[in-house]
Amino acid sequence: MAGDAQSAHAAMDELRSRGYAPDVVHYTVLLKAYARGRDAAAAEYLRNEMDANNVRMDRIAWLWLFRAFSFQYNMLWYAWDEMLSQDQASAQAFSIIINTSAMRANLMRQVYIEWERARPMGFLDVRNYNQLAAALAKRHMLPEACDVLEAMHADKPLDYASDASRANVWTWTARALVSSLSSYRRQHGDDKAGRLLERLEQAAPEILTLAEDEERIRREGPPAPPRRRPDDPRGTRKRRAFIDVKLK
């Protein structure tokens, strides 16, 4: 990764030596190299250089700067505030925030607040909603996960059955909900868990169907494949054909 940054620096130095000023594309290449090398300090220095040279960052440059900052949590939030204020925030950037924060409940509370802040801006996509709901559920923040799923059906209406490309995303969410529902029932009792389940059934019945399937497979194991009858000659024919080809 250091080689990528050195090559990008060399290209920019050559541009300057020929009297050309690097534009946002050249800076973005260098930001990408810093992000891959996890060099947040160098990325911040380059951002300041862009400001000094009046090079305006576009959405792609912001995203690579954000990726570089994802390893420094305070810098990440600083960049997020700037992106929102300049209308440069994106679904990919919010996904990075969720991934960076998912392991700690106190950070997920902040992510939930930022989701409420970003939601009216319209750039979040259905994967953000599912990803956030699953992360909140895994941190045992099931009421907040319900809020997100309810908002998803209001903001991003879609047909689960026909949109098969997102089935794996819903399965992740379902798995997290099943696990969290069990913990929530033990901590808060059947009444609160029942009310929460009613909310989930109204907000995301398709996801709950996936959750029930996941739970049944976990308890009973996957269905056994159909057994071939002993008198079925298909396997014998295939084996004979294979042997004949091999002998030839």
Whole-number Å distance between alpha carbons of 45 and 101: 25
Q: How confident is the model at residue 179 (pLDDT cuts 50, 70, 90)?
A: confident
Listed residue (220, 134, 219) closest to 171, CA to CA: 134
Q: How confident is the model at residue 217 (pLDDT cuts 50, 70, 90)?
A: low
Listed residue (202, 137, 139, 199) closest to 174, CA to CA: 137
pLDDT of 112 reads 95
Q: The whole model's pTM is what?
A: 0.70
CA angle (91, 93, 94) in 5-degree steps? 65
Interval 18-49: pLDDT, tens: 666 678 888 888 898 888 888 898 889 889 98
Interval 48-86: pLDDT, tens: 988 988 988 888 999 999 999 988 888 889 899 989 998
Query: Tokens 């620096």 label which residue?
Result: 9
Listed residue (16, 78, 102) closest to 62, CA to CA: 78
Q: How confident is the model at residue 92 (pLDDT cuts 50, 70, 90)?
A: very high
pLDDT of 247 reads 39
Q: Is 129 exposed, middle or buried (0-12, 13-18, 19+ CB in 10 A)?
A: buried
pLDDT of 208 reads 64
Q: How confident is the model at residue 93 (pLDDT cuts 50, 70, 90)?
A: very high
Listed residue (115, 29, 44) closest to 74, CA to CA: 44
Q: Whole-number mean pLDDT of the chain?
A: 77
